[in-house]
Chains A and B, each alone.
Chain A
Amino acid sequence: MSVALYTNRHGRRISTDDAGAAVLAVALALLPTVLPGYAVYVLPQYMLFGVLAMSLSLLWGRVGILSFGQAAFFALGGYVMGIIMKGAWPINPGYVGLVSAVVLAAVLAAVVGWFLFSAGVTDAYFVIVTLAFSIIAEQIAVGESQWTGGWNGFFVTRMRLTVGSLLDISFDDDVPAYYAVLLITGLTYVLLRTIVRSRFGKILVGIRENEPRMISLGVNTALYKTAAFAVSGAVAALAGAIYGMHSGFVSPSLGGVLFSTEVVVWVAVAGRGSQLAALIGGVVISSLSNFLSSVTPQYWQLCIGLVFIGSIVSFRGGVAGAIDHLLRRGGRERS
């Protein structure tokens, strides 16, 4: 498949990606000194969309499994966080919420993933199941209104960072919240890159390229696919949990088919082969989308759809794939 283009050049790709990520991190860290208040408020939410996009890129780019259910995990994270923040806890509810959201999503993804992958369901069928996930998530959010507030959703308060009585930082102000989200985004990137470069990550690529061969080499591919799905679900839920707190609000649309579709579009257009591309794609396209939907609400979604089709037809590695292609050609001409 398309992503096979990259396999020969892993070494160089990794270094350019990580260098780019480092530059991006420094730039993002400096931004609050020059940007107006609104940008400092809203940018972290786009970064969290970027984290969501990275969760899909692990699954789709590495293992070759497309999921239309990432938004379901994102919403799960947001709702679990919100519900826990409402309760009274002996310890910091923020910690309980974050851990529960991530663990719950990982367990759910692992159970469903193992249930399906161990039976050897086809990729196409898995896509449909994840699509059903999104519909179910949205319907539960709408239907179980005693927990979820129904159509209206509910407000979520931001957590505090506490270490015993030594430290107590509030994130009600946008600047500390900005740096907290930036840090989490960076850590998630490092975590996912570490996974991708590990033996585990290489086996995932092996499954993508030739699953029967991996099976005959003695790899339990269902287990690896399940693990990838669980990690991907957990990362999506983490992003959702923090997004819920940061935006102060969760609603059923977070889990819906439309939002899941947007995630797929970000990753497809930016390039499914690279974590950095997914991150940038999530941030850039979602912020563009927000900006342009206020300028041309009617035509923006249409443009996104056309760009999506264009990216599949003409440059299947997405923008990152196209840039890579250009760089490679440039390199050949020089040498």
Chain B
Amino acid sequence: MTPVLGVLVDLTLITLVLALAATGLAVIFGLIGVINMGHGAFLTLGAYLTWAATSAGLAFPVAVIAAALGVALVGLLLEHILIRHFYDEPSETLLLTWGIFLVVTELIKIIFGADFRNVTNPLPGTLAVAGLDIPAYRFTVAVFTLILLGGLGFVLFRTSFGLRIRGLIQQKESAALLGLNVGLLYKQIFVLGAALAGLAGALISPMLSIDPYIGNVFLVRSFFVVTLGGLGQILGGTLIGSFVIGGSETLFALVTDQVFAQTVVFALAIVLLRFRPTGLLGSKAR
């Protein structure tokens, strides 16, 4: 019984970490339709800022908040200078954000160096539950992810800010005619997405060795998560997408090696999406 339970716990933890990594992308892609190829670089930047802040002696939670705010600021600058001029041209924003990925990654390499960095795990212990040892830090991050998604749901469906966003998604022209400041709303959503990516990078940083390209793998996985979940299905969709991608990768990794497992999962995601192009939840695309 215990091995099965162990796999289930692993699966849940991996699903939630992946959901955390994908949320920032889901917000930007799902709400304003910008394919943010810079998402991976934002994650990486969040991880490096956390490393810098903890190395400077800040407590880990403070470092995480600082990293999220730092990435949000970078996102705000980039949106204001570049991206806001290209909202009407999805293929150009895709290229532009890819250029941003290149530049941010190179700046990270110049400022922090290309060596591996490690952030000390703030909660090194394990929790003993039902005969299983669950890593305390991963567990905390998983719970935090659930709270974060719940919070996002609350903002989207229970606040006037969320009402404005939903109005914007449904009818951009009408929303603008009714006096909604569309440009400002786009900016807020982009910055929110950047902050979420920075937050995810910060929280993931103690789980792995940081190098300037860690965001890359998360970028593609996050895209599959978001498209599998269905655009605009930020909450349930992200969770289901993460479960399919992260879960199947965990399961395949049990029977074959990690590399092959990831290849199979990418292939699986491509096949699933071909037959369900609007995502597993079948939402209507923007």
A contacts, CB < 8 Å to B: 1-2, 64, 66, 115-116, 119-125, 127-129, 131-132, 135-136, 139-140, 142-143, 257, 261, 264-265, 268, 298-299, 301-302, 304-306, 308-309, 312-313, 316
Contact = CB atoms under 8 A, between A and B. Distances in A.
Contact of A301 (B102, B220, B224, B275): B102
B99 A308 contact: yes
Contacts of B82: 309, 313
Contact of B96 (A64, A129, A312): A312
Contact of A261 (B102, B260, B270, B277): B102
Nearest to B270: A129
Contact of B220 (A120, A128, A268): A128
24 contacts: A1-B89, A1-B91, A116-B274, A119-B274, A121-B273, A122-B277, A124-B35, A124-B94, A127-B35, A128-B224, A131-B219, A131-B223, A132-B220, A132-B270, A135-B217, A135-B220, A135-B262, A257-B216, A261-B98, A305-B99, A305-B102, A306-B103, A309-B100, A316-B92
The 8 closest A-B pairs by CB, nearest first: A305-B102, A143-B259, A309-B99, A305-B103, A302-B106, A308-B99, A132-B266, A128-B223
Contacts of A122: 277
Interface in B77-117: 82, 85, 89-92, 94-96, 98-100, 102-103, 106-107, 109-110
A305 B106 contact: yes
Contacts of B109: 298, 301
Interface in B159-189: none
A123 B90 CA distance: 10
B74 to A, nearest CB: 14
B90 A120 contact: no
Interface string B250-286: 0000000101101100110110011101000000000
Contact of B94 (A119, A127, A135): A127
A298 B263 contact: no
B227 interface: yes
Given A121-B273, A302-B110, A139 B263 contact: yes
Contacts of B263: 136, 139-140, 143
Contacts of A298: 109-110
Contacts of A139: 259, 262-263
A176 B161 CA distance: 68
B103 A119 contact: no
A10 to B, nearest CB: 22
Tell me which of A66, A128, A136, A302 has the highest count of chain B C-beta atoms within 10 A of its own C-beta: A128
Interface of B: 35, 82, 85, 89-92, 94-96, 98-100, 102-103, 106-107, 109-110, 216-217, 219-220, 223-224, 227, 257, 259-260, 262-263, 266-267, 269-270, 273-275, 277
Contacts of B216: 135, 257
A123 B96 contact: no
A96 B194 CA distance: 50
A131 B273 contact: no
Tell me which of A66, A139, A265, A299 has the highest count of chain B C-beta atoms within 10 A of its own C-beta: A139
Nearest to B113: A298
A294 to B, nearest CB: 17
Contacts of A64: 91
Contacts of A316: 92
Given A308-B99, A308-B102, A309-B103, A115 B274 contact: yes
B277 A121 contact: yes
Tell me which of A1, A115, A261 has the highest count of chain B C-beta atoms within 10 A of its own C-beta: A261
A105 B216 CA distance: 25
Given A128-B224, A302-B110, 8 more contacts: A66-B95, A119-B274, A121-B274, A132-B269, A135-B266, A139-B259, A257-B216, A261-B102
B273 A125 contact: yes
A312 B277 contact: no
Contacts of B35: 124, 127
Contacts of B102: 261, 265, 301, 304-305, 308
Contacts of B219: 131
B96 A313 contact: yes
A264 B95 CA distance: 9
A125 B109 CA distance: 29
Nearest to B78: A309
Contacts of B257: 143
A323 B128 CA distance: 68
Contacts of A132: 220, 224, 266, 269-270
Contacts of A301: 102, 106, 109
A298 B270 CA distance: 36
